[in-house]
Structure 1
């Protein structure tokens, strides 16, 4: 699995985001998208009130040392949802990271699973089924639509923390979405990130 240190990746992505937001060069519209080429990503997370969420994108390029990076600011889930304006060209390789109020000292950031191994796009997943899965992808295929709504199921669960068993979070898309590789190891359905995954 190709990864890059999270701190470096998010710093570079933040600088890149600033450049995109301040440039005077117009962004061409994509088919089905708005004039500014932005996709509004709405995450419905009714069981994660108060969670801090961030959307990031890391997509492989021809140069393995230079993936395309982008990161949003962090936002808090309020009234069961949170929304992000994402450049449509950055939705490929998009991933959702979260920190829940109940989590202990994990040593990683909880990562929303968009598809478990064996799932087809649109197939529903239950908490009980998710707990039996050990391979998962967090990488979104991408879209040119102006709005995407993603229902996300979250549950507090016991996981291995840095020093002991603590509360962590099982987080996954209620229905599998079109995805990119890699397909990584999940522990009882839980996926975490210490480094930023590079999608391809």
Structure 2
């Protein structure tokens, strides 16, 4: 519903694993995904790094993961999961990984809507720097889950998570995260459909 179909084995594994975790009302930190590939960037002193901090409203206990999947590239990079404690989760990652980054939000109270909730970095009609409230977010029908990234060595993003109403595949009423940047960020394509401001994917979110 929210993303283009992709058939690469790695991203299929990612989507299947995360969707299964939501369907069983995942315990924080329980989701796993395909192992990252490529050189051990963390061990290379010459790689510029960014300390990325996310301050969450409404999602203590949520499992948060970062994914970089870029159009035209087969390789998909994913961070280790972080459990939100005291409203905060943080990572130290190569700065190049912030470009085209998407963020999944797995909440212990998610009823399992058949997709993986993602953070909306920009809603249709909003400009970079615009403040976004839930009253605004719930009216939105288009969203980008792709962050344009940063060249800075440290960045803090404020993320709001609301227990939104939705339905699971059988049609039963559930709660699921409506997650969005409290201040509209620089974003990348695609702008995809969002249901009452809820952004999600059934696959890795490909950016660019």
Which deviations, in whole Å up to 9, do the C-alpha atoms of 1:122-146 show, x marking residues without a partner? 1001101110000000101121111
In structure 1, the residue matched to 2:184 is: 176
> CA distance change for structure 1 residues 111 and 103 in 2, over 3 Å: closer, same or farther?
same
Taking structure 2 as the reference length, the TM-score comes to 0.82
Q: Distance in 1 between matches of 2:101 and 2:66?
A: 7
Aligned to 1:33: none
Mapping of 1:30-69 within 5 angstroms? 36-61=47-72, 66-69=73-76
Q: Secondary structure at the match of 2:6?
A: strand
Runs of 4+ in structure 1 deviating by more than 3 angstroms, as ranges, are 1-7, 10-13, 21-24
2:25 corresponds to 1:14: no
Higher strand share: 1
Distance 1:102 1:149, change over 3 A: same
What's the secondary structure of 1:90's corresponding residue? helix
Q: How many residues align?
A: 186
2:62 and 2:41 map into 1 onto residues whose CA distance is: 26
CA distance in 2, matches of 1:85, 1:3: 31
**Cα distance change on mapping 1:196 and 1:42 into 2, 3 Å:** same
Q: Post-superposition shift, 1:188?
A: 0.3
* Greater Cα offset, 157-166 or 78-87: 157-166
Q: Contact between 1:43 and 1:83, CA under 8 Å: does it hold in 2?
A: yes
Checking the alignment, whether the CA contact within 8 Å between 1:13 and 1:69 is kept in structure 2 is no
Q: 2:193 aligns with which of 160, 185, 199?
A: 185
TM-score normalised by L of structure 1:
0.85
In the alignment, structure 2 segments of 5+ residues that lack a partner are: 15-31
Conservation of the 8 A alpha-carbon contact between 1:125 and 1:175: yes
Q: Residue 151 of structure 1 aligns with which residue? A: 158
Query: Secondary structure at 2:35's aligned position in 1?
Result: helix
Cα shift at 1:13:
6.6
Using the TM superposition, give the Cα deviation of residue 108 of structure 1 relative to its aligned residue in structure 2, in angstroms. Answer: 1.3
Distance 1:142 1:156, change over 3 A: same
In structure 2, the CA distance between the partners of 1:2 and 1:194, relative to structure 1 (3 Å rule), is closer
Structure 1 stretches lacking a partner, 5+ long: 28-35
What is the Cα deviation at residue 151 of structure 1? 0.2
